[in-house]
Amino acid sequence: MSTDQAPAALSADDLLKRQKEVRKWVVLRGVLLGVLVAAWWMLFVPDSIVTSPMKYVLGVVVGLVATGGYLYQLRSVFQAPVVKD
């Protein structure tokens, strides 16, 4: 016999607060991931691959792609749940 109890049902307001909080942290993690990838690209990509000024432009692009890819993979967090009647 298990002593685990089912979690209490949340009210609509509590559920909305929790969703907003989760979305905020997911976006923050996505942005930080993008900044980390962009910084790595700008600092550690050899000059023999790209020219120096282009390295910074491509770093920003790579950071945006990393952020977008992360948020795209977690798009279910941003979609409202479908309620079946």
pLDDT tens digits along 4-31 = 776 777 787 888 888 888 889 999 999 9
d(CA 82, CA 85): 10
Strand, coil or helix: 80: coil
d(CA 55, CA 78): 32
Question: For residue 53, which phi and psi values (nearest 5 degrees)?
Answer: -65, -35
Indicate if the pLDDT at residue 85 is higher than 70. no
Q: Where are the domains of the chain?
A: 31-77
Beta strands in 9-70 (DSSP E): none
> 52-73 vs 12-44: helix axis angle to the nearest 10?
150
Mean model confidence pLDDT for the chain: 86
Model pLDDT, residue 12: 77
